[in-house]
Amino acid sequence: MRRLMMFGIVAAAAFSAPCAAAETLTVASRPVADEKAVFATVESISVVPARGRIGGIVVQLNVREGDPVTSGQAIAAVGDEKLALQMKALDAQINALQAQSNQAQIDFTRIEGLVERGTLPRVKLDEARTALNVAENGLRARTAERAVVQQQLNEGQVLAPAGGRVLKKLVAVGSVVLPGDPIAMIAQQNFKLRLRVPEQHARFLKAGDKVRVDGAEFGEQISKSGTIDLVYPQIEDGRVIADATVENLGEYFVGDRLRVWISGGQRTALVIPSSYVTTRFGIDYVQIRQGDRTISAPVQRGRDRPSPELPNGLEILSGIRAGDQLVQP
């Protein structure tokens, strides 16, 4: 019993001591943002389809769901047998026209020599020149026609319209597609957070407001902050939709649900520098001056409230009140 009394005296001496010259702080309430937790989903800025430019059969598919793609990357190939047959026919016609053009050139050269020697009239030279021009123009026409078919064959390559991630394949190898049919859906890589805020908090929401995402949502220790870009003017199912930009969201699934803290107005709170709080055996204490003595009082700490005038601000939920004189330990 005597030992217990001695321990109480020592503990009281530890929690109460005469005032010494130390820096003091008068506790005052100040307005802070009243944060509310809402759910948000990770969504792409836009989801665009990669479409086939020609009709035919899908002969090659180079991507699957979740694969990253870059703008202009070939993700599939569409083949059309009719184009290959047209190419063969045009090649045969081009060979025939090439032979005709060569023969017309030979005839023109021979007739030109005969006309110069006076053996043939000049009208024959004009006829040979006309035949040569017709053969050469026919050859150029068929060559251009072949280039059109070749371009159609090249358009069988389905290209990604934007860089991002493949959300869904819409066809399989062997599928028949028409010109303009979607082959895959591509989500652009610049992801945003789409917030759904209850309408009672919507009046406090505006573009430029800060949002906070707990680090636990990302598997990290440090929280991430972002900015609201757009507040949609339509209420759906009692909720307002808003888009926010947060860095490094591209590593997560599209549609991933996260808990986000937004500003729901302002309230008053007791915020003091964190240097005035000491922790002993898991309990937080502050030194309060009462008259000519200083006592230690247990407090319940809230979350950090940094501000330009108080970079190390800490919210105190209970244990002190406005007007208390705190002594820095």
pLDDT at 66 over 60: yes
List, in order, residues 6 or more apart from 297 with CB less than 8 Å away: 285, 286, 287, 288, 319, 320
Confidence of residue 220 (pLDDT cuts 50, 70, 90): low
Res 221: pLDDT: 57
Confidence of residue 49 (pLDDT cuts 50, 70, 90): very high
Task: Based on the fold, state whether residues 53 and 169 are members of the same structural domain.
Answer: yes
Cβ 165 vs Cβ 67: under 8 Å: yes
In a domain, 275, yes or no: yes
DSSP state of 7: H
In a domain, 317, yes or no: yes
Average pLDDT over residues 254-264: 78
List, in order, residues 6 or more apart from 266 with CB less than 8 Å away: 31, 32, 33, 34
pLDDT at 270 over 60: yes
Average pLDDT over residues 83-106: 87
Task: Based on the fold, state whether residues 279 and 162 are members of the same structural domain.
Answer: no
Res 17: pLDDT: 43
pLDDT at 128 over 50: yes
Average pLDDT over residues 221-234: 80
Cα gap 305→310, rounded to integer Å: 8
Task: Based on the fold, state whether residues 135 and 163 are members of the same structural domain.
Answer: no
Cα gap 27→34, rounded to integer Å: 20
- In the numeric block, which tokens belong to residue 183? 């082959």
**Domain end position, chosen among 139, 167, 186:** 186
For residue 246, give the nearest of 194, 186, 311 by alpha carbon: 194
DSSP characters over 88-150: HHHHHHHHHHHHHHHHHHHHHHHHHHHHHTTSS-HHHHHHHHHHHHHHHHHHHHHHHHHHHHH
Task: Based on the fold, state whether residues 198 and 242 are members of the same structural domain.
Answer: yes
Ramachandran class of 166: left when φ > 0, alpha when ψ lies in -120 to 50, beta otherwise:
beta
Residue 245 belongs to domain with CATH number: 2.40.30.170
- In the numeric block, which tokens belong to residue 210? 């800060």
**Mean pLDDT (the chain, rounded):** 81
Q: What is the pLDDT of residues 13-29, one digit of tens each?
A: 334 444 445 678 888 88
Cα gap 251→254, rounded to integer Å: 9
Cβ 273 vs Cβ 26: under 8 Å: no
Task: Based on the fold, state whether residues 72 and 165 are members of the same structural domain.
Answer: yes
pLDDT at 11 over 50: no
250 vs 267, residue with greater confidence: 267
In a domain, 9, yes or no: no
Residue 174 belongs to domain with CATH number: 2.40.50.100
pLDDT at 182 over 90: yes
Residue 307 belongs to domain with CATH number: 2.40.420.20
Task: Based on the fold, state whether residues 245 and 231 are members of the same structural domain.
Answer: yes
Residues in the chain: 329
DSSP state of 252: S
Determine the Cα angle at 193 with ends 254 and 182, to 5°: 40
* Domain, as residue range, for 72: 49-76+156-186
For residue 54, give the nearest of 28, 34, 84 by alpha carbon: 84
**Domain end position, chosen among 107, 129, 153:** 153
Task: Based on the fold, state whether residues 177 and 292 are members of the same structural domain.
Answer: no
319 vs 189, residue with greater confidence: 319
**Domain end position, chosen among 97, 130, 153:** 153
Confidence of residue 283 (pLDDT cuts 50, 70, 90): very high
3-state secondary structure of 256: coil
Task: Based on the fold, state whether residues 281 and 174 are members of the same structural domain.
Answer: no
In a domain, 1, yes or no: no
Task: Based on the fold, state whether residues 85 and 143 are members of the same structural domain.
Answer: yes
Helix axes 122-154, 81-116, angle to 10 degrees: 160
In a domain, 262, yes or no: yes
For residue 255, give the nearest of 69, 65, 63, 64 by alpha carbon: 65
Q: Residue ranges of the alpha helices (H) in the chain?
A: 2-15, 81-116, 122-154, 199-202
How many domains are contained in the chain?
4
In a domain, 7, yes or no: no
Cβ 34 vs Cβ 266: under 8 Å: yes
In a domain, 2, yes or no: no
In a domain, 27, yes or no: yes
**Listed range (14-28, 92-106, 138-152, 178-192) with the worst mean pLDDT:** 14-28
Task: Based on the fold, state whether residues 175 and 291 are members of the same structural domain.
Answer: no
pLDDT at 183 over 90: yes
Find tokens 């929401």 and name the residue: 205
Task: Based on the fold, state whether residues 146 and 172 are members of the same structural domain.
Answer: no
Cα gap 11→293, rounded to integer Å: 15
Task: Based on the fold, state whether residues 177 and 70 are members of the same structural domain.
Answer: yes
Buried b or exposed e, range 85-100, using 16+ CB within 10 angstroms: ebeeebeebbeebbeb
